Amino acid sequence: MSRNGFSVVRWWSIVLKEFLQLRRDRVTFAMIILIPLLELALFGFAINTDPKHMPTAIIAADQSEFTRSYVAALRNSDYFTIVGELPDEEAGRAALAQGQVQFVVDIPVDFTRRLLRGERPALLVEADASDPTATGLALAAVQQFAQSVADKDLIGPLAALAGGQPAFDVQVHRLYNPEGITQYNVVPGLMGVILTMTMVMMTGLAITREHERGTMENLLATPVRPLEVISGKIIPYIAIGLVQATIILVASRYVFNVPFAGSVAAVYLSALLFIAANLTVGITLSSLAQNQLQGVQLTFFYFLPNILLSGFMFPFQGMPGWARAIGSALPLTYFNRLIRGILLKGNGWADLWPSVWPLILFTVVVMTVAVKCYRRTLD
């Protein structure tokens, strides 16, 4: 071809070289295959914007054909999975606060008697509405069941009760976020997402960079110990993480008017714990990655399930069991529960503990892996 213009031979040599280099970079190659598969699995199977099978507890102070029929109707609908009975309202609130259940159906003591008298008694449905998308459609459904149960069971002499209005009322309490403001849920959740991204990526590069620049050999030749290197590299990022957390908290409070129902100290303690968890992940990925590009790719690979399966974007309880199982192994899941629990629900330590210990466990386990993965020699 032309010596001055576009040379196909030269151009093809670049194409070939890129392919050759790409083929040698195993991690990149694996990512090319794994990331689409991961995204397909997550978006295709795990994500559901019309979440079904939400865990629901019953407080059955009154048992009759009608109440059983109503509970059966709930169960038969796809929206609710009855996970058990609770003794009283207090236990119901605790279960909601800790995020164990999404709904509590409270059947008052003299429900059946008042129904038969035609007094139109009320069933109480309390919902954890901190995530409006998790509750919206389900709550619309509970009203319909009242009508259909009435139509089905109020027959014969009772048919008179069925006419016109439903024979009983369903009162819905949207707890924690009564107006259903999406920002209240998303903005605190964003803190965890941003911390995950920056903490894992920054530390993900920390050790890889030393290897890539050849300075690791120098470091290894000095008496410095693995724990000193790893924990020493983490400290500056903890400070950065706390600065980020503060920015988001200030914006939540003054820009988005997110309620601060719980203590700010608890928020910072949770953030600190969460930052530690993410930094250990970053350091571990950093020990595994061969170069900085791989470090970034591994970070992304870690980030994807975190953002999708942690309950940040989509309701955690609305995902299938396998997705919840993966989500339960991710620190962001617990941090989302902690931050939303503190800010929106005003949770105290007793309610927070179920999400605190998994974070501690995660950090200890991953830190152990990080120290084990850190190569003391160049072998």
Partner 1 sequence: MKDSANLSYMIDVRGLNKRFGDKHVVRDLSLQVQRGEILGFLGPNGSGKTTSIRMLCGLLTPDSGSGSCLGYDILKQSDQIKRNVGYMTQKFSYWDDLTIRENLDFVARLYEMPDRKRAVDEALEGLRLTSRAQQLTGTLSGGWKQRLALAACMLHKPRLLLLDEPTAGVDPAARRDFWEELHELAAQGITVLVSTHYMDEAERCHKLAYISYGALLAQGTAAEVIESQGLSTWAIHGDADRLVELSRQLRGQPGVDLTVAFGSALHVSGRDGAALERTLRAVTQGQALRLEAERTGLEHVFIFLMRGSADNFADTLGAGR
Kindly state whether residue 290 participates in binding partner 1, applying the rule CB under 8 A.
no
Segment near partner 1 (CB under 8 A), from 37-45, 130-138, 214-222, 277-285?
Answer: 214-222
Kindly state whether residue 217 participates in binding partner 1, applying the rule CB under 8 A.
yes
The alpha-helical segments, DSSP class H, found in the chain are 8-24, 26-41, 65-76, 89-97, 111-116, 132-153, 159-162, 182-213, 215-220, 226-254, 264-288, 292-309, 321-327, 331-340, 349-373
Q: Return the residue matching tokens 């950065």.
A: 240
Kindly state whether residue 369 participates in binding partner 1, applying the rule CB under 8 A.
no
Segment near partner 1 (CB under 8 A), from 5-13, 97-105, 211-219, 306-314?
Answer: 211-219
Q: How far is Cα 267 from Cα 343, in angstroms, rounded to an integer?
A: 8
Cβ(317)–Cβ(102) below 8 Å: yes
Segment near partner 1 (CB under 8 A), from 18-26, 59-67, 186-194, 208-216?
Answer: 208-216
- Three-class SS string for 310-332? CCCCCCHHHCCHHHHHHHCCCHH
Q: How far is Cα 18 from Cα 2, in angstroms, rounded to an integer?
A: 23
Nearer to partner 1 by Cβ, of 85 and 217: the residue is 217
161-190: burial string, b at 16+ Cβ within 10 Å, e else: bbeeebbbebebebbbbeebbeebbbbbbb
Which of 2, 9, 37, 222 is the binder for partner 1 (CB under 8 A)? 222
Cβ(107)–Cβ(60) below 8 Å: yes
Q: How far is Cα 306 from Cα 175, in angstroms, rounded to an integer?
A: 26
Residues 6+ apart with CB under 8 A from 347: 97, 98, 262, 266, 341
Q: How far is Cα 376 from Cα 226, in angstroms, rounded to an integer?
A: 7
Site for partner 1 in 157-186 (CB under 8 A): none
Kindly state whether residue 156 participates in binding partner 1, applying the rule CB under 8 A.
no
Kindly state whether residue 218 participates in binding partner 1, applying the rule CB under 8 A.
yes
Nearer to partner 1 by Cβ, of 220 and 242: the residue is 220
Kindly state whether residue 221 participates in binding partner 1, applying the rule CB under 8 A.
yes
Number of residues that bind partner 1 (CB under 8 A): 15
Distances (CA, A) of 206 to 192, 209, 211, 344: 21, 6, 9, 36
Kindly state whether residue 235 participates in binding partner 1, applying the rule CB under 8 A.
no
Structure tokens that stand for 374 in this block: 């850190």
Segment near partner 1 (CB under 8 A), from 4-12, 90-98, 220-228, 265-273?
Answer: 220-228
| Nearest-approach distance from CB 202 to partner 1, in angstroms | 15
| Nearest-approach distance from CB 378 to partner 1, in angstroms | 5
| Nearest-approach distance from CB 286 to partner 1, in angstroms | 17
68-100: burial string, b at 16+ Cβ within 10 Å, e else: ebbbebbeeeebbbbbeebeeeeebbebbbbbb
Nearer to partner 1 by Cβ, of 117 and 225: the residue is 225
Segment near partner 1 (CB under 8 A), from 200-208, 209-217, 268-276, 281-289?
Answer: 209-217
Nearer to partner 1 by Cβ, of 157 and 223: the residue is 223
| Nearest-approach distance from CB 299 to partner 1, in angstroms | 21
Half-sphere exposure of 39 (CA within 13 A, CB side): 7
Segment near partner 1 (CB under 8 A), from 3-11, 153-161, 334-342, 371-379?
Answer: 371-379
Kindly state whether residue 2 participates in binding partner 1, applying the rule CB under 8 A.
no
Which of 32, 213, 357, 372 is the binder for partner 1 (CB under 8 A)? 213
Segment near partner 1 (CB under 8 A), from 29-37, 46-54, 109-117, 213-221?
Answer: 213-221
Kindly state whether residue 265 participates in binding partner 1, applying the rule CB under 8 A.
no
Quote the radius of gyration of the chain (alpha carbons, Å).
Answer: 27
Geometric angle at alpha carbon 137, from 338 and 351, rounded to 5°: 20
Please give the backbone phi and psi of residue 56, each rounded to the nearest 5 degrees, phi first: -130, 135
Which of 143, 215, 257, 290 is the binder for partner 1 (CB under 8 A)? 215
Nearer to partner 1 by Cβ, of 14 and 221: the residue is 221
| Nearest-approach distance from CB 216 to partner 1, in angstroms | 8
Please give the residue ranges that form the binding site for partner 1 (CB under 8 A).
Answer: 213-224, 377-379
